[in-house]
Amino acid sequence: MNPDMIQLVLVGVVTAATPLFLAALGELVAERAGVLNLGVEGMMVMGAASGFAAAYLTGSTLIGALVGTAVGALMALLFGLLTVVFAVSQVAAGLALTIFGLGLSGLVGSAFVGLKRDAAPHLAIPGLTHLPVVGRLVFGEDYFVYAALLLALAVSHGLRRTRAGLVLRAVGDNHGSAHALGVPVRSVRLLAVLFGGACAGLGGAYLSLSYTPFWSPEMTAGRGWIALALVVFASWRPWRALGGALLFGGATVLQLQAQAFGIGLPGQFMSAVPYLVTLLALVALSLRRRAGSVAPAMLGTAFVPDR
């Protein structure tokens, strides 16, 4: 393998990791506020359908991405009303959101099946993008990738270094105390859920606008569930989620590359490798976790203020 081929493989890894990371980052924020939203798959697939539809009708990838993001947030609003405002079971509402999203996206996207458009534009900086070995990898990704990195920076900084992040974490760790201190627990949770939906919608739009630029029902193919696993894998830390997404996307892409390269491992085993990697990582994490749980203490618990 020459360096340029390695670069192509790495570009493929980044592509595979981006939708996983976007969805996981959003879910991470919602979970840090104490809300477990199992509807990531449903929000993603709605983002993919509506994002493609909007981009196809307007001819603009940017509008497609924005619409996908907004529709993901709308789906999350529905979930937030149910779980945060009416204190419905988060697990049941999340599962329902996934089923609802898969069905509704088929309806929304039905007029757009079998249509195609050009892939999302890539960054092109004269002199840099065409550098050998690293040019395309660092300076030639599509805009979604850079947006995802900026989001990672913002979330990481926001959670750790800002007052808003502190409030969000307090709500997720002890909503009773936060409420006693005058924090509007339910508003904070609703906002966190909306952010999670927006990220999932953007991740879905990435699938139908850049990864494989067409719409097809259920094209998310389980990526929302992988994103959920990633949040746990990352022990609720943004940069670990990025690392996990690269690892997971990388394992998938590399096993396909290994097969094409002719490494004689059976296909089913190779397909299971990413999941094996995740399991091992989970075990390693739990061994290291002796000091105390890393999950937000209120995760999955509804908050009903006393009156």
Partner 1 sequence: MGDGMRAVAVLAMAVLAGSAARAEEKLKVGFVYVGPVGDFGYSYQHDQGRQFLQKQLGDKVETTFLENVAENDSQRAFEQLARSGHKLIFGTSFGFMDPMLKVAKQFPKVDFEHATGYKQAPNLATYSARFYEGRYIMGEIAAKISKTHTVGYIASFPIPEVVSGIDAFMLGAQSIDPNFKVKIVWVNTWFDPGKEADAAKALIAQGVDVIAQHTDSAAPLQEAEKAGIHGFGQSSDMAKFAPKAILTSLEDNWGPYYVGEVKAVQDGTWKSHDTWGGLAAGMVVMGPYENMPADVKAMAEKTEADIKSGAVKVFAGPISKQDGTVAVKAGEVMPDKEILGLNWYVKGVDDKVPQ
Q: Which one of residues 138, 183, 270, 277 is an interface residue with partner 1 (CB under 8 A)?
A: 270
Residue 276 engages partner 1 in binding (rule: CB under 8 A): no
Give the nearer residue to partner 1 in terms of CB position, either 116 or 157.
116
At closest approach, how far in Å is the CB of 39 from partner 1? Answer: 12
Residue 156 engages partner 1 in binding (rule: CB under 8 A): no
Sign of CA dihedral 212, 214, 215, 216: negative
**Per-position x/- string for 233-252, each x denoting binding to partner 1 as judged by CB under 8 A, each - no binding:** -------------------x
At closest approach, how far in Å is the CB of 264 from partner 1? Answer: 7
**Per-position x/- string for 80-99, each x denoting binding to partner 1 as judged by CB under 8 A, each - no binding:** ---------------x--xx
Q: How far apart are CA 164 and CA 193, in angstroms?
A: 15
Residue 268 engages partner 1 in binding (rule: CB under 8 A): yes
Q: How far apart are CA 295 and CA 289, in angstroms?
A: 10
Contact (Cβ atoms closer than 8 angstroms) between residue 189 and residue 302: no
**Range 176-215, binding partner 1 (CB under 8 A):** 207, 211-214
Q: How far apart are CA 146 and CA 21, in angstroms?
A: 12
Enter the tokens of residue 181.
């201190």
Q: How far apart are CA 59 and CA 174, in angstroms?
A: 46
Dihedrals phi, psi of 35, to nearest 5 degrees: -110, 120
**Closest to 204 (Cα-Cα) out of 295, 75, 297:** 75
Residue 127 engages partner 1 in binding (rule: CB under 8 A): no
Q: Which one of residues 116, 130, 157, 161 is an interface residue with partner 1 (CB under 8 A)?
A: 116
**Helices 90-109 and 61-80, packing angle to 10 deg:** 150
**Helices 40-58 and 61-80, packing angle to 10 deg:** 150
Q: Which one of residues 14, 16, 190, 232 is an interface residue with partner 1 (CB under 8 A)?
A: 16
Binding site for partner 1 (CB under 8 A): 5, 8-9, 12, 15-16, 19, 95, 98-99, 102-103, 106, 109-110, 113-114, 116, 119, 207, 211-214, 216-219, 221-223, 252-253, 256-257, 259-262, 264, 266-268, 270-271
